[in-house]
Structures are given as structure tokens and as C-alpha cells.
A and B are shown apart, each in its own frame.
Chain A
Amino acid sequence: MKKYKLNGYLVAGIILTGIIILWIIAGRFYTPYNPTKMSSAKLQGPSLAHLFGTDKFGRDIFSRVMQGSGTTLVIAVLTILIGSVCGTIVGAMTGYFGGMLDEVLMRINDALTAFPSILLALVIISILGPGKQNVIIALGIVFIPSYARVTRTAFASQREVNYITSARLMGASSSRILLVHMLPNTLHVLLPAMTIGFNNAVLAEASMSFLGIGVTPPDVSMGYMLSEAQGMFKSAPWYALSVGMVIALLVFGVGLIGEGLQRRNKEVD
């Protein structure tokens, strides 16, 4: 009974996120209208024909959001992949081997975390220039330190555990110990960190595109649309509201999953 209650977040989160992701994936193959097709039906309110209304070029906002959230999703997923893979490697190295390497890398890590993440991303973008790939690279780099920190602790705490010591005594190689014995045991911290990272990535991408230093047209992203919608808030409030709502729902769903994971961890402890 108690277990079920604790996993309520997980279940609700997975259902909500699942629905949104299915909707977004569907948007890759089918949208009610061509998202870039302009028409004379400009700035119309929500109706059965246009669920979220139309924008200043008469384009269907529902279709655009379907597609735009796809861009956002791809960026977020790739970002956490880069961040978590690189971060875990750094965390494993420093946590397992310790010593000088640990000192140096963690100092650099400290220095990097001193930059607010969006600021660091902006700086990297100013080097690379805007665009989808560069946003992914920038955010990926920005998120490495946080994963490194989380996994370092997890790896370090296992270093002197009995079964690891015995594995080492039995002559297992370091890479085998790290991959086979230790990595699975870090998943419980890595997964919640990834859900948080996912949300940070979605919000960071949206912020950057909103500032105009992120995704560039014709790639449509949520932040870009929201910045456009801001100027029409009075005449077309549905535009900003629908875009904002989809971002919020996506982040909310994944946030619930993270909450569920964390509570389950506690239960297992």
C-alpha cells in the first residue's frame, strides 16, 4: 500500500511524459497543418480548426508547437546524454582513483560551477555562434560538472566497499570494476540527476532561444515561439499560453518522475 503510494508520482509522471512525448514524436510524422504554411487567417483565436489559434502569418500554432517541442526535446535529450556520459566518466575517474587527478579536476569543476549555468552557456554560444548543434554542445558542456560531482561521490563511496576490494584482489581490471561493479550502483543517483538535468536543459534551451541566442529559424523551438508570442500577448494571448503550457507540462511530467525515483530510493534505503 505504502509502496504504491510512493510510486504514484512515478506512475503519474511516466503517463504524463509518455503522452507528451508520443504527441511530440507524432509531430515528426503528422501535424494537422504544415507548420510553416502561411495563410490569410492571421492571429485567430483557438477554434476547432486551430486548437491553439494561428500566429501573425496565419500559421497553425498547434502544429508549430508540436514541431517546436520536438526540437526542444531532441536538444534536451542529447544535452543530458553528453552531460551525463562525460560527467560520469569524470566522476568515475576522480571518485575511483582519487589523488592528484581528483584534486585538479574537482578544482576545475568548482570553478565551472561558479558560473551560473545559463551564463556559461551564453559564453560558449558566443564562441560557437547560435544554432541547434551549438546549443546542444553548449548545454552539454554546462551540465558536465553537476553530473561529475554527483557520480564522484557515488563512486568514491564504493571504493572501499567489501565486494569492490575483493574484486580488486581477485585481479579484476579497473575498467571492469568501474563498469560492471560500480556503475550499476550509481544509477540510483544518476537517474534522478538526469531528470533534473532534463528539466534544466529544457528550461535553459527555452531561455536561450527566448533571448535570441539559441535555436535559429527555420528550426522552431519553444523559447523562440514564446519570445514571438510575448509581443502579441494582448491580441493573441493563446499563443503565449499554449506554448508556455506545453513547456510546463513537459517539465512537470519529468519532474514527477524524478520525485518518484527519489522517493523510491529512500524506500529502498
Chain B
Amino acid sequence: MKKRILAGILAVSLVGALFTGCGKGASQSGSSSSAAPAEGTEQTADGAGQAASETVEQTARAKANEVVIGIAQDLDQSLDPHYTVAAGTKEVMFNVFEGLVKYDSNGDTIPAVASDVAISDDGLVYTFTLRDGVKFHNGDTVDLDDVIYSVTRCKEDPNVNPQTSKGLACIASLEKDGDNKLVMTLSEPNTELMSLLTLAILPADYDKQDTAPVGTGPYKFISRTAQESVELEKFGDYWGTPGNIDKVTYKINESAEGLIMGLQSGALDLVSHLTITQTQELGTDDFNIEQGSMNLVQALYLNNARAPFDNELVRQAICYAVDRQGVLDMAFDGLGFPIGSNVFPAFTKYFDESLTDYYDHNPDKAKELLTQAGYPDGFDLVITVPANYQPHCDTGEVIAEQLKEVGINATLDKVEWNTWLEKTYSGRDFQATVIGLTADPLTARSLLERFTSTANNNFINYNNADYDALFEQAVKCYDDQEQVKIYKEMEKNLTEHAANVYIQDMADLIAVRKGLTGLTFYPLYVLDVSTLKWQ
């Protein structure tokens, strides 16, 4: 139904959990999160050519040093970062909040509110040194109480995503050591702790985070108008490299057409997550089209608990029936990185390329399997897609067409984003759905734990004893290489049993008005506005 929207990729980022880790002492940057950025992450698509030599007429906004960014969905109901669910909200609020550490553009964690961290040899004691004079947007200076409050809240507040609280459960005690040192003692080592400690540091005793959030990031929150806009302003007292742009406005437009028209008319300067058709619509006169990858796992997710997908043969049949390259060619003009399991290519450490071609496009084989499974004439299938994410809708539409070839009568059910979250994701009331899942924090565990039979976010109801056993093994394993091997086994398990029809890590196409530079790609679903700059 609603054809609104466009662009984005989804995002249900679930903060992955981790209560114990593998590997011993973590380096300060959190070794497990050091995924390499996608190859070719920063290149210009379409031969658009950088407008380096062109003199670009400065727009009024460039003179005022302001930027207007178009986004496809309104932010979460609550802006409290600890309660945020949607990746689209995190994408914006990344600029407002920081943790003790934060991600850099390589996906490594670097010091932020803490200036330094020392880790004991046994990996059980973390000593953070609070950076001097870090200020909240409300003018208060960050002190140890704020840090303890924030970490404790994430660990204990029942409204925080259980994945996060579970991960932080390994923290046995938090103690002040003088004015600026925090000693964190763990009950067991956890190599993924650093990724978790990117959690936002918030002022203690401030109760308006949900409507007027206050953080320590380079931009401060100014205002929000429902369904219309969000305004951020450069934070003058930022401890680090300040942003260049004085004022950033996010305009919400849940209609693909609206975003494109906004770019064309000059109302918007930057829109992410576009489709190739949309970038062609824009042309290259006024815009540079930057291409990165979304760093997510786009798939046709199958409800393994519901007929006919409770039958592995049917799931495999559908894997053979879907022509992945066909989807890429038809809906994305060939852009995108095909995948065969639940890890995206940029996560090179865990990515297993051999799985990509495990299922070739083979309609005959698919029919054979369907016959074997007792569906010689196919069946009716409803593919639920979030209407505000055009790429997922397009993917669903192409897949539906491909499935006709093997006799499966697939129809699309385009639902609102909230409906998708509620019914499909939380309620698990669906047959199949196209969505992209991100890794947050950037760990293999956050990508793979979700398919263990008891995971609360196992929305496809995958239930495989071997998989669960492997995960138990992985969690208890302290040898990095061995652990990578187990995780890869898990990926293979997903592929072999055709848990889902894995499609791709999508290319992220971003239209940037000429004259605006400094766009930085992260292996995360964020848009860093602090590096943007008008020429």
C-alpha cells in the first residue's frame, strides 16, 4: 500500500547482547569490532565525476552554513537514546550522543567521553579516565556520577533493549577512583564490552530525554516537529573536533517522490539510501551521487514456524527459485553485494564468500523440491514489506515475479513501518518479509545470536538444535580464531537449512548537493554530519 517512501534501509538494529566474550584482554579499540570497511566504500557512482573543477554557485544555505537533510521516516516516539529501537533514529542521533568510547569511520572504537582506558591482563578490570571538561549540551560538565548513571541505567532499566542489558550484566561493580577515574570490574571477560560502551552518556537526574535529549556529541538537539523536521545545531563547547556546519535540519518526508522533489527544488541538500532509479531521476548536474554499502543483511526472511516454511524443502526450493542477480539487476541496476548467509561482506572477518553461491538460480530444482515437499502446484505466499523502504518493496516485487515461475503465487503486503515493527517483527505474524538487518553493536554475535531458538529477537522462529549448540560453543570459546570458525559454522548452518533467502548487502546511494563535501562512510548505519562542509 503505501508507496511512500523510499529509501532506506532498514534497520532494526538490535543491540546485540553479550554477556561473555571470547578472547582475552581487549585492546582499547575493541578488537572484535574491527571489521574492515567495505571495499570500494568511498567511490563515486555513475561516473558522475566529482565536481571538483566546477564552480558551484553558493546557495543561500551554503552562505548561512546550514544543511538540510531529507529522511524517510520520523524518529522514534522517544528520543531517549537508551530506548531507541529504529536505526533511522540512531542514524540521526549519532551526532548528538557519545559514549565512553565511540565508533570511528573504520568501525573501531575510539575514546570519547573517556580519554583513556586501561584494561587489566585478565580482562576483568577496566579503568576509564574521564576526559577533562566534557560538557553536556545543557552546559553541565560530565562527571563520574553521570557515567555511572548511564551505564547502570542501560544495565538495569527494563525499558532498555534486553540485548543491551544482558550484555552489560557482566559488569560486577562500578567504582569511582578519585574525581576522574572509573573502575569497572567484570565477573567474566567480555571482548565485546567496548562496543557496548558506545552507549550514550546522559546527565543524571534529567528527565526530559525523550522529548528534549541532551548528550555530549558535536551537535545538540534543538527541536522536533512531528512528521516534519528535527533541528540540530553545532555544539560550541564540544571537546573534540567541532562540526563545520552551523545548523542541520532533517526534514521528514515519508514519500519517495517528496524527497526527490525536495532535492530537485533545492529544498534538500542530502538524502541517503536512494534507489538507482531515483539517482537517475536527479541527474548529475546538481548532485554528486556517493556510493557506499549499507552494511546490512537484506533477505527474504521466512517465518520458519509457519507452513509451508516449517518445511526445510520448501525453504530450499524458494532459495533456488529466487534469482539473486536478477533482483540486483532489476531493482538495483546491478549495484549491491550478493550474500549467502547472515553476514555482510564488509565484515570480512566473518564473511564466508563460499556460501554466496550455495544456491544457484535453478527453477527446475525448485519445482522438484516443491513436489517432494507436497506442493507440486506451488502455494499462495504473502510477502510483507515496509512501505516506507522503497528498496525492500522493489526487491519484494521482483521476487514475487520470480516466484511465479515455480508456481508460487506471491503477493505483496505493504505495511506501515510501525505496523511492520509491531506485527511482523515483534508479533512474528507474517509468512515472509523483505528487510535488512544491521549489526549493532558491530559484532558477529549481534548478527547471529538472533537465530538461536530462544533469542527474543528471533522473529523468523528459526529452531535448529545444532545451531543453538554451536552458539553455546562460540560464546564459551576464548580463542579468537576458533571462535571465528564456529561463527562461520553457524553461518553455514543457516545457509544449508535455508533459514532465509539471503539477497545482498545493499549499495547505499547518497545524493549530495554539489559544493557540499566531507561525507564520511561508516561501517554502521549512521550519517556523520560533523565532517560535512560547504566548499
Contacts and interface: CB of A to CB of B under 8 A. Distances in A.
Interface in A213-268: 213-218, 224, 227-228, 230-232, 234-235
Given A212-B2, A230-B257, 15 more contacts: A37-B401, A40-B329, A40-B330, A56-B277, A211-B2, A212-B4, A217-B411, A227-B257, A228-B3, A231-B256, A231-B278, A232-B277, A232-B281, A234-B281, A234-B283
Interface of A: 36-38, 40, 42-43, 56-58, 130, 211-218, 224, 227-228, 230-232, 234-235
27 contacts: A36-B404, A37-B401, A38-B330, A38-B401, A40-B330, A56-B277, A56-B394, A57-B401, A58-B330, A212-B1, A212-B414, A213-B2, A214-B1, A216-B411, A216-B412, A216-B413, A217-B397, A217-B412, A218-B400, A218-B412, A224-B3, A227-B257, A231-B257, A231-B277, A231-B278, A234-B283, A235-B281
Contacts of A38: 330, 398, 401
A130 B384 CA distance: 13
A78 B394 CA distance: 31
Contacts of A232: 277, 281
Interface string B307-345: 000000000000000000000011100000000000000
Interface of B: 1-4, 256-257, 260, 264, 277-278, 280-281, 283, 329-331, 387, 394, 397-398, 400-401, 404, 411-414
Contacts of B260: 231
A232 B256 CA distance: 10
B1 A216 contact: yes
A228 B387 CA distance: 12
Contacts of B329: 40
Contacts of B280: 43, 235
A58 B280 CA distance: 15
A185 B264 CA distance: 57
Given A36-B401, A218-B412, A234-B264, A213 B281 contact: no
B329, B330, B404, most chain A CB atoms within 10 A: B330
Contact of B277 (A43, A130, A213, A218): A43
A57 B387 contact: no
Nearest to A227: B3
Nearest to B329: A40
A218 B399 CA distance: 12
Contacts of A57: 330-331, 394, 397-398, 401
A134 to B, nearest CB: 11
A231 B281 contact: yes
Nearest to B256: A231
Contacts of A231: 256-257, 260, 277-278, 281
Nearest to A212: B2
A34 to B, nearest CB: 10
B326 to A, nearest CB: 9
Contacts of A214: 1
A219 to B, nearest CB: 9
Contacts of B2: 211-213
Contacts of B278: 231
Contacts of A211: 2
B408 to A, nearest CB: 13
Nearest to A223: B3
A5 B283 CA distance: 52
A17 B414 CA distance: 33
B279 to A, nearest CB: 10
A81 to B, nearest CB: 24
A224 B277 CA distance: 18
A186 B264 CA distance: 53
A3 to B, nearest CB: 48
Nearest to B385: A217
A42 B281 CA distance: 13
Contacts of B281: 231-232, 234-235
A229 to B, nearest CB: 9
Contacts of B413: 216
A37 B280 CA distance: 22
Contacts of B264: 234
A40 B278 CA distance: 17
Sorted nearest first, the 5 A-B pairs with minimum C-beta distance are A212-B2, A231-B257, A230-B257, A217-B412, A130-B1
Contacts of B330: 38, 40, 57-58
